[in-house]
């Protein structure tokens, strides 16, 4: 009988004896690996002792510009170059904080906030990460004081201050204003503007709360639109007030009063207990000094990491894979548009790309489960459904958990339905279970510029999507029929996935958007938390430890070597994996014609646009 060695450390073809021998050999190899780690760490810590004067008292990080959840993938050889390195991400910050937490001599971290472009959900993620850091510190150094988090603010807006409030100490510069002003939404309606240039939008939607294209069809806000924004802003505002109250140990009414008085100068903020002091950045070292020192030694992480205390890390044969889905959902391949485009944004999540990623994950034996990271307002109904199918097949073989970023609404919520658990932040915007369709009528505008259109057609409805005239009654009936079919399917999938009764769906759907906390209360998601919370949920399902030692890797697929679909009946036979490539292709230049084709392929949209921003 032929023998073959499996990746999990057992033999194929040799019966139970071979399996036992294989497991034994695997244990021996892992033991050797652990022993080698202990030796390497011991030697590194010995060298560290000899350079005691170069240790950091505090490790420095800077938050500036946008903050990504995951570190962008790039070719390995670029890691050796000093230029073009990716900026700080939540993923890289978590890895760094875990290492710092294990060092018995570092007293804490300093986070400089300089023009950070954060949303409230991201601020909650950082607050969760600070709490994890303190927990790791206490677990790894039970006899030492828990490490502290110090935040220094150059500017102090809503989300920036929610991050700072989660720290142990907060400092601002003497001229920094406390500008936590609350939340404001002001949708811009363009129907009258379009009318003046001879353009009219015809919009069909499932319910008044599906307001994604109201700005094109209406000249003012509808009652349903206002009610929805009031509810969302109310939920986000309470999240912000609660975070500040808990972080600074101030009564919520006092927090609301401070917001209503804002902007406040730095001295007023200190007086109200909102910050701990006003200093310049160069005075941080003296302010944080302890143990008879004149100044604390504050080193950037890149400089301090070489002298951090090292600990052996447990190795695992299985890993968690991440499939990221960001931007507008479209058919075809994912695309990235440097600088961004109207309506589309900076990038799209293409169904073809996501299909290939999911199929690669299905065949990768290393993966014990897949975390689907969604940050999307939705898009094409067809593309969303194609992704849903692939993820449903994947979940039959390997557990899938969805984590929602700032927004995962409409089509972004649709693709999360196959997951066994859905996790999001309290301030995540989600739901918007509904469908919308529209077309712009441009015949009057064409006439104003002297353009003349002569149409010739065969087929009664060949002009149903043409822009030279409105829908005829029978055409509008057909459009509404298509919309109703897609919407009923959407609701059915929500009911089956979330185990909700049809009667309760009517109050949850219809395009209504919810904050993460509101969605949890209504059974649309399973838990509130950060990316780490979602990984812990997935590890529990996959029977892996939740101590942070399981590697988390980005799933990749080579789109030049497309994978055929795996039939549902052959899922148990799936084994093996190939090489991978990047998730999205970067396009350095995009012609307007390409964008028009991109937007014109699909007619039925699961899109949640015009949502209030919580910066």
Cβ–Cβ under 8 Å, residues 460 and 478: no
Alpha carbon distance 549, 139 (integer Å): 14
Bridge partner list, 60: 110, 300
CB atoms within 10 A of CB 169: 17
Cβ–Cβ under 8 Å, residues 404 and 516: yes
Cβ–Cβ under 8 Å, residues 255 and 272: no
What length does the chain have? 615
Give the closest residue to 67 by CA, choosing from 13, 1, 119, 11: 119
CB atoms within 10 A of CB 280: 12
In sequence order, what DSSP letters do the residues of 64-114 get, joined into one string? EEE-BSSPPP--GGGGG-STT----BHHHHHHHHHHHHT-SS--EEEEEEE
Bridge partner list, 116: 65
Alpha carbon distance 413, 405 (integer Å): 11
Bridge partner list, 370: 321, 400
Q: Please state whether the peptide bond connecting residue 263 to the residue before it is cis, i.e. omega within 30 degrees of 0.
A: yes
Q: What pLDDT sits at residue 28?
A: 55
Q: What pLDDT sits at residue 24?
A: 56
Alpha carbon distance 312, 323 (integer Å): 28
Alpha carbon distance 315, 361 (integer Å): 21
Q: What Rg do the C-alpha atoms of the chain give, in angstroms? A: 27
Cβ–Cβ under 8 Å, residues 393 and 362: yes
For residue 51, the 8-state DSSP code is T
The pairing of strands 527-528 and 319-326 is unpaired
For residue 450, the 8-state DSSP code is T
Give the closest residue to 277 by CA, choosing from 146, 174, 409: 174
Cβ–Cβ under 8 Å, residues 419 and 391: yes
Q: What pLDDT sits at residue 592?
A: 36
Alpha carbon distance 389, 391 (integer Å): 5
Q: What pLDDT sits at residue 27?
A: 56
List the chain residues with pLDDT less than 50.
Answer: 1-15, 18, 22, 77, 572-600
Q: Which residue has the tokens 């701990």?
A: 276
Alpha carbon distance 139, 161 (integer Å): 28
CB atoms within 10 A of CB 455: 9
Q: What pLDDT sits at residue 9?
A: 42
Query: Is the sign of the CA dihedral 476, 481, 485, 487 positive or negative?
Result: positive
Q: Which residue has the tokens 């007619």?
A: 603
The pairing of strands 345-350 and 335-341 is antiparallel
CB atoms within 10 A of CB 571: 14
Q: Please state whether the peptide bond connecting residue 370 to the residue before it is cis, i.e. omega within 30 degrees of 0.
A: no
Side-chain-side CA neighbours of residue 410 (13 Å)? 31
Q: What pLDDT sits at residue 293?
A: 87
Alpha carbon distance 239, 245 (integer Å): 10
In sequence order, what DSSP letters do the residues of 166-216 get, joined into one string? TSSEEEE-TT--B------------HHHHHHTT-EEEEEESSTT--TTHHH
* Residue 614, C-beta contacts closer than 8 angstroms, at least 6 positions apart: 119, 120, 121, 158, 159, 183, 236, 240, 427
* Residue 258, C-beta contacts closer than 8 angstroms, at least 6 positions apart: 178, 180, 264, 272, 274
Please write down the HEC assignment for all residues of 559-611: CCCCCCCCCHHHHHHCCCCCCCCCCCEECCCCCHHHHHHHHHCCCCEEECCCC
Give the closest residue to 52 by CA, choosing from 301, 310, 289, 307: 307
Bridge partner list, 153: 113, 172
Cβ–Cβ under 8 Å, residues 394 and 358: yes
Alpha carbon distance 475, 461 (integer Å): 7
Alpha carbon distance 463, 505 (integer Å): 35
Strands in 277-278's sheet, in edge-to-edge order, are: 277-278, 169-172, 148-153, 108-117, 58-66, 298-300
3 state SS of 273: coil
């Amino acid at each position: 009988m032929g023998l073959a060695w499996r990746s999990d450390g057992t033999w194929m073809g040799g019966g139970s004896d071979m399996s036992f021998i294989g497991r034994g050999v695997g244990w021996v190899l892992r033991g050797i690996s652990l022993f080698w780690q202990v030796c390497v760490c011991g030697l590194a810590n010995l060298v560290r002792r000899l350079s005691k004067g170069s240790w950091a008292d505090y490790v420095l990080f800077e938050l500036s510009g946008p903050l990504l959840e995951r570190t962008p993938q790039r070719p390995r050889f670029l890691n050796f170059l000093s230029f073009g390195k990716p900026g700080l991400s939540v993923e890289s910050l978590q890895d760094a904080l875990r290492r710092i937490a294990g060092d018995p001599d570092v007293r804490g971290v300093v986070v400089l906030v300089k023009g950070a472009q954060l949303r409230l959900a991201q601020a909650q993620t950082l607050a969760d990460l600070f709490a994890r850091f303190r927990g790791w510190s206490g677990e790894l150094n039970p006899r030492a004081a828990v490490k502290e988090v110090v935040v220094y603010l150059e500017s102090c807006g809503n989300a920036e201050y929610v991050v700072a409030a989660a720290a142990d100490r907060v400092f601002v510069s003497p001229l920094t204003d406390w500008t936590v002003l609350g939340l404001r939404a002001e949708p811009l309606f363009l129907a009258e503007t379009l009318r003046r240039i001879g353009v009219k939008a015809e919009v069909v939607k499932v319910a008044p709360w599906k307001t994604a294209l109201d700005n094109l069809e209406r000249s003012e806000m509808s009652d349903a639109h206002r009610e929805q924004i009031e509810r969302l802003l109310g939920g986000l505002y309470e999240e912000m007030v609660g975070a500040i109250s808990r972080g600074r140990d101030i009564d919520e009414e006092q927090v609301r009063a401070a917001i209503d008085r804002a902007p406040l100068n730095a001295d007023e903020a200190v007086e109200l207990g909102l910050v701990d002091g006003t200093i310049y950045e160069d005075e941080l070292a003296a302010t944080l000094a302890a143990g008879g020192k004149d100044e604390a030694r504050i080193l950037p992480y890149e400089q301090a990491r070489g002298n951090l205390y090292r600990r052996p890390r447990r190795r695992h044969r299985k890993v968690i894979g991440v499939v990221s889905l960001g931007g507008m959902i479209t058919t075809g391949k994912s695309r990235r548009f440097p600088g961004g485009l109207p309506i589309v944004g900076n990038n799209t999540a293409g169904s073809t790309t996501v299909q290939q990623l999911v199929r690669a994950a299905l065949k990768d034996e290393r993966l014990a489960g897949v975390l689907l990271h969604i940050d999307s307002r939705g898009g094409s109904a067809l593309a969303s459904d194609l992704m849903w199918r692939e993820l449903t097949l994947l979940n039959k073989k390997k557990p899938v958990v969805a984590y929602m970023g700032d927004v995962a609404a409409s089509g972004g919520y649709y693709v999360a339905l196959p997951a066994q658990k859905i996790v999001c932040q309290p301030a995540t915007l989600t739901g918007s279970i509904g469908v919308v369709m529209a077309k712009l009528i441009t015949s009057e505008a064409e006439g104003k510029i002297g353009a003349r259109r002569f149409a010739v057609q065969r087929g009664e409805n060949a002009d149903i999507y043409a822009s030279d005239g409105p829908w005829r009654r029978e055409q509008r009936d057909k459009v509404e029929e298509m919309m109703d079919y897609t919407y009923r399917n959407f609701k059915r999938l929500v009911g089956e996935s979330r185990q909700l009764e049809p009667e309760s769906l009517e109050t949850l759907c219809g395009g209504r958007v919810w904050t993460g906390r509101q969605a949890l209360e209504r059974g649309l998601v399973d838990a509130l938390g950060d990316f780490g919370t979602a990984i812990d949920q997935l590890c529990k399902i996959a029977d892996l430890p939740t101590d942070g030692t399981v590697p988390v890797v980005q799933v990749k697929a080579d789109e030049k070597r497309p994978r055929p679909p795996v039939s549902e009946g052959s899922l148990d036979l799936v084994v093996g994996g190939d090489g991978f490539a990047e998730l999205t292709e970067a396009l350095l230049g995009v012609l307007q014609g390409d964008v028009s084709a991109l937007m014109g392929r699909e007619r039925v949209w699961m899109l949640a646009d015009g949502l209030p921003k919580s910066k």
